[in-house]
Amino acid sequence: MRGIDKSFPGVQALRGVDLTLQSGEVLALLGENGAGKSTLIKILGGAHAPTAGSVLVKGELADLSTPHMSQAAGIGIIYQEFNLVPHLSARENIFLGQEKAKGGFIDVREERRQALKLFERLGTVIDPELRCADMSVAQQQVVEIAKALSQDARILVMDEPSATLTPQEVERLLEIVRELRDQGLGIIYISHRLEEVHQIADRIMVLRDGEQVGTKPAGELDREALIELMVGRKLENEFPVHTSQLGEERLVVTGLRRGSVVKDVSFSVRAGEILAVTGLVGAGRTEMVRLLFGADRPDGGSIILDGRSLHLSSPRHAIRAGIGLLTEDRKGQGLVLIHSVRENFGLPNLGQFTRGGFVNSRKERKGFGSFVDSLRIKIPHQEELAQNLSGGNQQKVVLAKWLQRNCEVIIFDEPTRGIDVGAKYEIYLLIQELATQGKAIIMISSELPEVLGMADRVLVMHEGRVTGEITDVKGATQEDIMNLAVA
């Protein structure tokens, strides 16, 4: 890609970007949210036309004006949100639009044979007739890769492929990437997980504010140098320095249980405390906070907030009691993506912004405007659709609506998933500021450096139970947490 420019009304998304990819290499493409990574990839995939610049494949000028022409040029894009039809089988998804026909009918036997061959090439066993809706995220990802390979892709772009995978699934994904690289494919790998990038990348390219700021062999860039390139400044600490001032117990949970997913969980959170809850995927962390938020009914146990016993039969009751939840799945559960950011902010706060059954938009706009400034939410205007925001800004909109409710207990479920390192730092500052105001903070995280860098105290869960508590967080290691997580 040579001299790629791309402008949208009022926004210059890319300026003179050059990208070179060799056969048999993994090029990591990094940058903060809004740096231009997605725009560059969409140009390569034929979803956007560049304002200026050209793309050459195998030394020849390529016309990538449509996704179909991009596929014909041997380019396969696997977006963060998969393009699979859930009720169709793996085989049907792989050959959708390029069905193998025989005598006017789909040759199911031939499609099965080719699908099995593709899965074998990827070192994975998947039943070609299994519906995608019944698969794990990791299996769906393999189907997406097989789909690209079935179209003879020689260039594969993977956008945040590990964002929702377990550590074991990530290891398997990296093995598949290495196998494809060894088979001669050129792979562009986009990720916010810097440890992962160093494990897999041959070269690293960094974008910042739509411009290319560096491309170097992976071995020449350590974590600190990468962060400095991405954010344009030196981050002295990845986590803000914080002095805790703990007050009285605010939330006390005793004997909380639900079926086999949450078993006799007890803990407390004090005013000004950041309590991290961690563990392996399936440990019951999210299931536990759903009980605290009234999204599921417990089989037993008690929840006491500021001395009052709570009986939470719905999220509405939890919100009224002063509990807010920033869900793990921002897009699916935290926001209504096709509504404006102003409307999303107003949803849990309609009681404050309605009069006589009508929403007072001016009051709502004023309320949200104060948080746009204080949380530094980057939006062109308040009517911007939530789906158009970067991950970090989406997270800030969700936080703004709970701050407007003046929630006393704020639960962050994977608060920095899919968010770049600069925006992470801002989210950390906001969490610490809330704790300083005397809020009780529960932070669920799978990122162990984040847990050790942010928490005043750590609860570790395994198979629905609390298997350990770490009070001396500064003296703890990731190994200490893992030992409790597999107990």
Q: How confident is the model at residue 154 (pLDDT cuts 50, 70, 90)?
A: very high
The answer on pLDDT for 164 being more than 70 is no
27 forms bridges with which residues in the sheet? Answer: 188, 203
- On average, the pLDDT of the chain sits at 88
Give pLDDT, residue 487: 65
What's the average model confidence in pLDDT over 220-233?
81
Give pLDDT, residue 234: 63
- Tens-digit pLDDT profile for residues 43-72: 999 999 999 999 999 999 999 999 999 999
What's the average model confidence in pLDDT over 193-219?
91
**Whole-angstrom distance, CA of residue 79 vs CA of residue 68:** 16
102 vs 198, residue with greater confidence: 198
The answer on pLDDT for 29 being more than 70 is yes
309 vs 33, residue with greater confidence: 309
Give pLDDT, residue 471: 92
Exposed, middle or buried: residue 258 (CB in 10 Å: 0-12, 13-18, 19+)?
buried
Contact 246, 217 (CB under 8 A): no
What's the average model confidence in pLDDT over 234-247?
77
- Order of all β-strands in the sheet with 440-444: 323-326, 409-413, 440-444, 274-278, 457-462, 465-470
H-only helix segments in 405-463: 421-436, 448-454
Give pLDDT, residue 395: 83
**Domains of the chain listed by start with CATH number:** 2-231 (3.40.50.300), 249-485 (3.40.50.300)
- Tens-digit pLDDT profile for residues 111-151: 999 999 888 888 888 899 999 999 887 888 889 888 888 88
Q: How confident is the model at residue 238 (pLDDT cuts 50, 70, 90)?
A: confident
Q: Compute the half-sphere exposure of residue 253: CA atoms within 13 Å on the CB side of its CA.
A: 24
Contact 21, 67 (CB under 8 A): no
Q: How confident is the model at residue 162 (pLDDT cuts 50, 70, 90)?
A: confident
Q: How confident is the model at residue 348 (pLDDT cuts 50, 70, 90)?
A: confident
Give pLDDT, residue 236: 61
- Please state, in angstroms and as integers, the Cα–Cα distance from residue 117 to each residue in 56, 124, 260, following that order: 30, 10, 39
Q: Which residue type does 40 have?
A: L
For tokens 């939006």, the residue is 379
Give pLDDT, residue 61: 94
The answer on pLDDT for 294 being more than 80 is yes
What's the average model confidence in pLDDT over 402-427?
83
